[in-house]
Amino acid sequence: MTQKTTKDIVWGWLEKGAQDLKSAEILLKSNENVMDVACYHCHQAVEKYLKGFLVFKKISFSKTHDLDYLLGLCVKEELAFSKIQKEIQSLSQYDSSIRYPEEETGHSLEEAILAHTTTENILKFIRALISV
């Protein structure tokens, strides 16, 4: 088996993040009541892009889904991340806990659209910082 390069791993994270964003788009266009899942995929896309940036910078991180933790690591490496802190924090509520019935659910289409737009902007910002 071929050893993956850092570039391969970074692209892997970005590709998985792009797939999550595409999944959110498909769900937004559906006539189904699945906006919680669309929001969750937005969270996942940002998580994967943050991890891609960290791999690009050769910064290790714990296995986690915590956007605030990942953002903190990114800010230490690149202060510009502090500019998108509010946007990233707005997506933190859509972590894996919304997939379970104990948590409050029922996010609206408008909320999911906002999460998607926010995610697109964050991914564009992160992608501009990665040159592989």
Domain boundaries, the chain: 6-129
Q: Give the relative orientation of helices 35-56 and 67-77 as an angle to the nearest 10 degrees.
A: 30
Instruction: Quote the tokens at residue 54.
Output: 């960290």
Range scoring the smallest mean pLDDT among 2-11, 12-21, 50-59, 97-106: 97-106
Whether residue 57 is predicted with pLDDT greater than 80 in this model: the reply is yes
Q: What is the rounded average pLDDT of the residues 21-27?
A: 97
Instruction: Quote the tokens at residue 13.
Output: 């994270």
Q: What is the rounded average pLDDT of the residues 111-132?
A: 94
CATH for the stretch 6-129: 1.20.120.330
Q: Give the relative orientation of helices 109-129 and 6-29 as an angle to the nearest 10 degrees.
A: 160
Residue in the block written with tokens 């919304």:
98
Residues contacting residue 119 through CB under 8 Å, at least 6 positions apart: 21, 24, 42, 45, 46, 91
